[in-house]
Amino acid sequence: MNTTMNRTTCKTRLAAALVCAAAGTLATLAGSAHAAGEAKNVIFFLGDGMGPVTVTAARIYKGEKQLAAKPGSLVSPERANLVMQTLPYAARVKTYSLDGQTTDSAPSMAAYMTGVKMRNEVISMSSDTVAVDSTGKQYINGEDTTCAPTNGKAADTLLELAKAKGRAVGAVSTTRVGHATPATTYAHICNRNGYNTIAEQSVPGHANYNPKLLDGVDVLLGGGQRNYLPKPANPGSKRTDGVDLVAAMQAKGYAYVDTGTKLKAIDPAATGKLLGLFSQSEMAYELDRVKQNLDQPSLSDMTEKALGVLSKNDKGFFLMVEGGRIDHALHGTNAKRALEDTLAFDAAIQTALDFMNKKDPGLKNTLVVVTADHDHAIAFNGYPKIGNPILGLVNGYADGKPTKAADGKPYTTLVFGNGGRPGSISFSDANDPNATPADIAKKIADSNVNAEDGKKPWIAPARGPVRDDQTTMDTTDDNFLQEVGINLGSPGAETHGGGDVMLFAGGAGSKIFKGTMENIKVFNKVKEAAGL
C-alpha cells in the first residue's frame, strides 16, 4: 500500500468535506437570515443624483470632518466609510429611461417603485404614457395639469402594494412632497410638473384622490406648502382653486406640523396619521438649515418621527426617505452643499438603523435599501495626494504642489462636465421672443447671487476661453461653484449624468441585491423580499 498516496487522498477528501460543510452552513445561514418574503418592513433610501463620484467625495469629506474633530482617528480621510457603505450587499443599477440615455428623476424613481420603464417627466404610469397635457403640449411647466384620460394607465407602486397588505406607509423628503421622487410613491400623472394635482392625489376625499391609497399615506413629510395651502392665508400659494388641502387632511384625522419644533412635539404613540410641510417649496439645504438656525427638521429628525409612527403597525410598513437636495446642489455645481446634504442623508440612514435595531434586533424583519435615481456630470479629476482636501485645488501626490493645467493655472479636484455660471443665462432664455430686455437683465442679475443664502454672490471661476486663476480663491467657501467644461447658462443649469449608480442593502431579503441590474428589477427584488 502506498501510505503517502493514502494520506494525500484522505487529506484531499477531508478538505473537500470541510469546504462542502462550510459552504452548506453559510448557505443555510444566509438563506434563513435573508429569505425572500420575510421583510415586513421596508425602508427605501433614495439619494437624488447621488452618483458614484458624489458618494466617494462625501466619504472623503466625512473623513476630513472626523479628523478635524478627532485628530489621529483615521490614517487619512480616504479611509472613512459612509454608513451606507457598511451595509453588507451592493449592486450597480442602470438608470436610462424609456426615451433618454440620461434619465429624469421621475421615470428613474418610478422604475424603482413600479417596475415599469417610462418616459422622462412621467410619474408612475404605463410605458405608453407621454408627458403632454390634454392639448398635446410637451413638458408642462405649471402647478396644475390636465392629462388626457386616455394618456396611459396608473402603474401600481410599492407603497400602494404595501398599503393593500395592511401595512403602514410613508414618504419623507427634503424637497416638496410632490416633487418627482416622493410623488412616484403615491401619485400617478403624465407630467411631474403638475404639483397641485399631485398634492390632490394625496388628500383622502378629494375628487382627484388616489383610491389605491385606501385611507391615505400615513406619514408625509417635506416641503410644499404652496401646493396645499391657498391664498390669502398663504401669500406664496400656487393653488388656483382656493382649496385648503391641509384642512381637508386634518378633517380626515391627520396631525399637521409646519416647523421642526412642532415635529419634535409630536408623540408617535398618539399619532395615527402625520402631515408635515416645513417650507413653501423645497426645504433648506442642510448647510443653510444649520448655519441660519432655521426651524426646519433635519432629514434624520423626519426619518425618526416617521418610523415612530409607522412601526406601530404589527403588519409592517413601507417608508421612502429621500435626500432630495443633493441633486439641486449638483445642478448648481455647488459641491459643498451637495456633500453636506449627502452626509445628512447618510446620517438619516444611521438614525433608521439605530431605531430599527431596537425594534427589530438584527433587522430580521426589516429590509434597508439605499440607492440613487441617477448620476450627475460631476468628475473627480487629477492626481491629488492622499489627504488632499476634497474641495481644494489639486496638489500632486509626487511633490505636494499645485498641479497646473496647460494654461499654467491650478484646478480643483471636483469639476463638472457642464453647468451654469453667474452673469449668464441659457441660450433659450437669451433668445426668447417674448422676453424684454428688462426680463433678460433681471435673469442675469439674479444669476449672480444665491437666493437661499441671503443673496450672497456666487464665487465661481470664469468659464470661457480664459480661465480665472483660482490660486487665491477660497474653493471651500459655501458659495463656491466648481469649474465646468460647457457653459449652459445660469447656476442650476448642470445636467444629470447617464452613468450607472450604486445600490447598498442590508437586513431581511438583502442578499438578492447583487451584480448589475436594470432599475426596474429593483422593484421586483423589493417586492420579492417584502412579500408584496
The reply to whether 105 belongs to the active site is: yes
Give how far Cα 31 sits from Cα of 12, 17, 287, 509, 528, Å.
Answer: 28, 21, 42, 9, 14
Q: Which among 448, 380, 449, 388 is positioned nearest to 417, based on CA atoms?
A: 380
> What was the pLDDT predicted at 41?
98
> What was the pLDDT predicted at 32?
32
Per-residue pLDDT of the chain (532 residues; tens, 9 = 90+): 444 434 444 344 434 443 344 344 333 333 434 455 689 999 999 999 999 999 999 999 999 999 999 999 999 999 999 999 999 999 999 999 999 999 999 999 999 999 999 999 999 999 999 998 777 776 555 678 778 889 999 999 999 999 999 999 999 999 999 999 999 999 999 999 999 999 999 999 999 999 999 999 999 999 999 999 999 999 999 999 999 999 999 999 999 999 999 999 999 999 999 999 999 999 999 999 999 999 999 999 999 999 999 999 999 999 999 999 999 999 999 999 999 999 999 999 999 999 999 999 999 999 999 999 999 999 999 999 999 999 999 999 999 999 999 999 999 999 999 999 888 888 788 888 888 888 888 888 888 888 888 888 888 887 667 889 999 999 999 999 999 999 999 899 999 999 999 999 999 999 999 999 999 999 999 999 999 9
Residue listed under C-alpha cell 458618494: 55
Note the residue count of the chain: 532
Domains and CATH numbers, the chain: 41-377+496-530 (3.40.720.10)
Using H for helix, E for strand and C for coil, what is the string for 409-452?
CECECEEEEEEECCCCCCHHHHCCCCCCHHHHHHHHHHCCEECC
pTM: 0.91
Tell me the residue type at 482.
Q
Helix (H, G, I), strand (E, B) or coil at 147: coil
> Catalytic: which of 97, 105, 173, 298?
105
Give how far Cα 359 sits from Cα of 77, 169, 300, 410, Å.
Answer: 33, 17, 17, 52
| Other beta carbons less than 10 A from residue 182's beta carbon | 32
Q: Please give the grid coordinates belonging to residue 7.
A: 494520506
DSSP states of 453-480: TTTEEPB----SSSPPP-TTS-TTSTTB
Residue listed under C-alpha cell 445600490: 503
Tell me the residue type at 211.
P
CB half-sphere exposure, 451, CA atoms < 13 A: 8
> What was the pLDDT predicted at 27?
39
Distance separating alpha carbons of residues 203 and 177, to the nearest angstrom = 12
| Other beta carbons less than 10 A from residue 439's beta carbon | 13
> What was the pLDDT predicted at 34?
45
Number of H helices, E strands in the chain: 15, 17
> What was the pLDDT predicted at 451?
87
Residue listed under C-alpha cell 417608508: 319
Residue listed under C-alpha cell 384642512: 247
Backbone angles phi and psi of 207, in degrees to 5: -60, -30
